[in-house]
Structure 1
């Protein structure tokens, strides 16, 4: 009887050891959230009817990260407004000015884009609070240039240099983006006035813009250095202005989320503004699980679209995600790709406590029909 009992115990020990071995093999065989995510991103990037993408993701609790072409330089467009906001709020934290301090609108501040600031009259005194809300929530370019004028470009570029030395190209005023782009066509465009930039934007199409520009600078279109406005944008993008690596931008957001860039009051204020962003509702946000909060900033320009922010999933830890597209003029198709990035992020398990393909994650949207491109904002 003793021999049978010992054999039974031995059999049980072997069975338990076998179960543990099988469990370990299964765990080792299961792909990590990073592997699931990068495989999905490669699929999105390879779609024949979509743009090329770059993505950086970091789980702030564990520090684990995933990168897909994030080490390349990507044009950030209006995503550069986050370091502008940080520079302004640092001035407020130092007591240099307050949220209610007025800033005077100058004729040189006007630039096309979203928001209501460029409908204000020259000489209007607009509070910093209003300008920050317009810049972050509505991506108002005129408000951005007023705030850059307040703190100076040196302070703005000091933020990015501090966070990730060498990770960002120079940040410029938003009006200079337009002047530098049109300047690729004809050097005299570097002297365009703010109201002239607004009028150029209001022209019906690229051909009309070139004709209007020719009248302003008194140079025939045939004498322009490049034939199209699209070529001018490509030449501008090649300068590296307002561009950066996505992992560097992810570091910026991680330090903001962890309170390393601003004191607690200013950190809460900026993240609150970023949660109220109204631009890009069909980008990453559309692919996130229900109940997730997203403090983010979008960027939109011809053939260049971005979405970058901090996801706070219900019951989970915060995750930084930075995504940009290029090579696709269609806003609809670029936003679909960014929405798929949000879906892939959710289905990887990093937002759902390690559960891949959770029911709360959106399904992959169907293919879209061909669509025309959106004019640059």
Structure 2
């Protein structure tokens, strides 16, 4: 039986090993208390099955974390035989959205032909917005991705807007249409980790791509000992006129010294703390989580 507590105004859900993991919860609470932000956390130790959620049922904007969901949907179609990872695809100049973060566009402003595997890599590892919207079009829009995630039994996820629409000037509120909860995020990550979504080959491909992520080095990755593998996906909003960032996020799998993994997702929402402080929150939570589970093994 799970236990739910209201601690310092935060809804905290703990696994049955309540007495052990409350120390970690208390340490995380110290990190996020008095912050001018809503911080939601999901942690699941795959070996012991211990879990911890802070604001686990609260919706938060995913921003580019949803590119993990898009990658799952595309790779599922690869597994069905609709596409091949080696298949060459033409990205036209018109596919490169002006003012959208796009390493592909920077390297190939007039368009380029790339294998599908490389487009996915750009989208996940480098968080390329044009690559994401190209793959949305390949699948038929945002709805097929949203429906696919729901078909997996993960319901508290809503994917409604493309990168172009979400990042357009004056569209601040659109980011909140692409939302999830930490319980849903961890549920999806567990399904992926347990190889219940993709074929072994597609699973390994996406895992390796996530290991190569270059965005957000000062988030989860910074909280871990140097050289610790972490397969993750970040998400970041802009800052509005009031100095608020809608989302500074990171979700992934940290590797413990014994080779086992912990799924962790931290979303910092509607924060006026500033980007450095927001990233430090994520790094500090990662550091505490790693220390806790490394010691309990």
Quick check: TM above 0.5? Answer: yes
CA deviation profile, 1:131-185 (whole Å, cap 9, x unmatched): 1111111100001111111122333112321234431122421112134x625xx
d(CA) in 2 for partners of 1:291 and 1:121? 34
Distance 1:149 1:285, change over 3 A: same
Residue equivalent to 1:61:
47
CA deviation profile, 1:260-293 (whole Å, cap 9, x unmatched): 1101000001000000001111111111245532
**1:80 equivalent in alignment to 2:80:** no
1:333 to 274, 277, 281: 277
**1:174 equivalent in alignment to 2:163:** yes
TM-score by length of 1: 0.66
Residue equivalent to 2:199:
263
2:256 to 289, 306, 313: 313
Structure 2 gap segments, 5+ residues each: 1-16, 239-244
Structure 1 contact 98–128 (Cα < 8 Å) conserved: yes
Structure 2 contact 96–111 (Cα < 8 Å) conserved: no
Structure 1 contact 105–125 (Cα < 8 Å) conserved: yes
1:132 to 106, 116, 120: 120
Aligned residues: 270
Deviates more, 1:163-172 or 1:309-318: 163-172
d(CA) in 2 for partners of 1:166 and 1:267? 22
Residue equivalent to 1:39:
26
Distance 1:62 1:269, change over 3 A: same
CA deviation profile, 1:343-371 (whole Å, cap 9, x unmatched): 12123x223334xxxxxxxxxxxxxxxxx
Distance 1:46 1:143, change over 3 A: same
2:57 to 52, 71, 78: 71
- Taking only aligned residues, the RMSD between alpha carbons, in angstroms, comes to 2.2
Structure 1 gap segments, 5+ residues each: 1-29, 184-232, 355-377
TM-score by length of 2: 0.83
Task: Say which structure is richer in strand.
Answer: 2
Residue equivalent to 1:343:
287
**Displacement, 1:104?**
2.7
d(CA) in 2 for partners of 1:148 and 1:111? 17
Larger radius of gyration: 1
Structure 2 contact 101–129 (Cα < 8 Å) conserved: yes
